[in-house]
Structure 1
Amino acid sequence: MNDLTDKVAIVTGASRGIGRAVALLLAIQGARVVSVARSADELEELAHKTNGLAVPADVADETDVQNVISEALRHYGRIDILVCNAGVGSFNLLEHFPADEWDRMFDVNVKGTFLFCKAVLPYFKAQKSGHIVGITSDVARRTFEHGTVYGASKFAQDAMLGSLRKEVRAQGIKVSTIYPGLVDTYFNEAKPGSLETEKTHLKPADIAQAVRYVLEAPPHVVVDELMIHPLTQEW
């Protein structure tokens, strides 16, 4: 297995839910975690728990993204892992969907992934190694009512990561995509921990373990795609 000790990992959307669980688990495995989100207070608390670095940033702002990369390199001297987890969701019939919500969803879910991947690639190529893990959604592979815009953003994110995987594989860079089903988080104004979500949803820790699995695969193994969803979820 691939040892994560002292690997430098950037995790976006780290203040809550899946991102927080990923940051905590990677820290337990010995990684040096750079936690990224807009909430400075929640990030500082997480940085204390992970003994890592907190960098508040808007993932859709290129200046903020470059600052995250600069801070990671200034503190640790290298970057080994990028976990693109930041995401937002909103659901409505297409005819009622506000255009500004379209912009927000594509900015975070698609542009954020694009900007971070673009920013780390020069360093990954220089060291001839690196691993990008994109956390998309199982709706990147299916469609559903009220999911026109969210699904479109996840299809786009998935296509980008899939194409990038082919572009960089020969240069020693891995790109893996994880497709979670329903997860018990604050996503879309949900309240985690209710009796209903306890029975039907995955836990953030489940997705964190999936991230760990693909990162710890032996160097010659590439886990391109990993679907994880609760057995109760209907397709």
Structure 2
Amino acid sequence: MTDITDQVAIVTGASRGIGRATALLLAMQGAKVVCVARSADELEEVAHKTHGLAVPADVADEVDAQNVVDEALLHFGRLDILVCNAGVGSFDTLENVLATEWDRIFDVNVKGTFLMCKAVVPHLKLQGSGHIIGITSDVARRTFAHGSVYGSSKYAQDALLSALRKEVRSFGVKVSSIYPGLVDTHFNDAQPGSPEAEKTHLKPSDIAQAVRYVLEAPPHVVIDELMIHPLTQDY
């Protein structure tokens, strides 16, 4: 089993939901966590609980993405883990979706993953180790009505991570994709914690545990892909 004690982990979208749960769990396992999100106030609270570093940033901005990596290296001196969790979505019929909404979703879900990986990969390759985990979605493997834009972004994110996996494997760097089903979070402006969601959705901590499972695989093992659903979801 891989011990992540003292490994440096960047977690994007760390202010809420899956990112927050992941940052807290990795810190409990002894990792040094760099918490990244646009919401500075919520981010500081998570960073305080993890005894980590808060770096407010827009992952879709190249300067911000590079600054996250620079700050992590300056503060901790190394990098080991990147969890690309930041994501947005909205759902409507294709003809009702504005081009600006397409841009917003692709900027965060696809460009954000691209820019964070681009900033991290040279350092991981140089040290000959490291692990990138993308929190994608089960809709990277299926389509549904009103999900053309969000689904397209997740298909694109999945392709990016799959290609990167082939590029960096020979350098000792792992790339894993986790595909959650329904999760009880603030995603798409939902309010988590409803009695119905308690029965039908995964909890953010469930996905955090999946991240831990993937990271703690033995050094000679890479878990390429992990699909996880609530038992009640018909996939």
**TM-score relative to the length of structure 1:** 0.99
Residue matched to 2:95: 95
In structure 2, the residue matched to 1:217 is 217
Distance in 1 separating the partners of 2:170 and 2:95: 44
**Corresponding residue for residue 43 of structure 1:** 43
Q: Distance in 2 between matches of 1:117 and 1:29?
A: 23
Distance 2:168 2:63 in 1: 24
Q: Name the residue aligned to 1:113.
A: 113
Secondary structure of 1:206's partner?
A: helix
2:198 matched to which residue of 1? 198
Q: Is the deviation greater in 203-212 or in 39-48?
A: 39-48
CA RMSD of aligned residues (A): 0.5
Q: Deviations over 1:104-131 (max 9, x none)?
A: 0000000000000000011001100110
Counterparts of 2:125 and 2:73, CA distance in 1: 15
Equivalent-residue separation in structure 2 for 1:17 and 1:81 (angstroms) = 19
For 1:1-235, what aligned pairs fall within 5 Å after superposition?
1-235=1-235
Deviation at 1:189, TM superposition (A): 1.1
Percent identity (aligned): 79
Task: Output the amino acid matched with 1:22.
Answer: T
Instruction: Give the match's secondary structure for 1:126.
Output: helix
User: Match of 2:158, SS?
Assistant: helix
Offset of residue 10 of structure 1: 0.1
Q: Distance in 2 between matches of 1:218 and 1:43?
A: 31
C-alpha separation in 1, matches of 2:164 and 2:51: 31
Q: How many Å separate the matches in 2 of 1:108 and 1:83?
A: 14
Residue deviations 1:119-171 (CA, integer Å, cap 9, x gap): 00110011001100000000000000000000000000001100110111011
1:234 shift after superposition: 2.2
Q: Residue 213 of structure 2: SS of its match in structure 1?
A: helix
- One-letter code of the match for 1:25? L
Aligned counterparts of 1:113 and 1:199: Cα–Cα separation in 2:
31
Q: Secondary structure at the match of 1:60?
A: coil
Number of paired residues?
Answer: 235
Amino acid at match of 2:169: R
**1:43-90 deviation digits (Å, cap 9, x = unpaired):** 111111000000000000000011111100000000000000000010
Instruction: Summarize deviations over 1:194-232 as a string: whole Å, max 9, x none.
Output: 011011000000000000000000000000000001121
Question: Following the alignment from structure 1 to structure 2, what is the Cα–Cα distance between the partners of residues 91 and 98?
Answer: 11
Once residues 96 and 233 of structure 1 are traced to their aligned partners in structure 2, the CA distance between those partners, rounded to angstroms, is: 27
| Aligned-partner residue type, residue 196 of structure 1 | E
Counterparts of 1:130 and 1:219 in 2: how far apart (Å)?
10
Q: C-alpha distance in 2, partners of 1:175/1:99?
A: 31
Where 1:6 maps in the other structure, the secondary structure is coil
Letter in 1 for 2:41: D
Structure 2: any 5+ residue segments left out of the alignment? none
Structure 1 residue 233: deviation in Å?
1.1
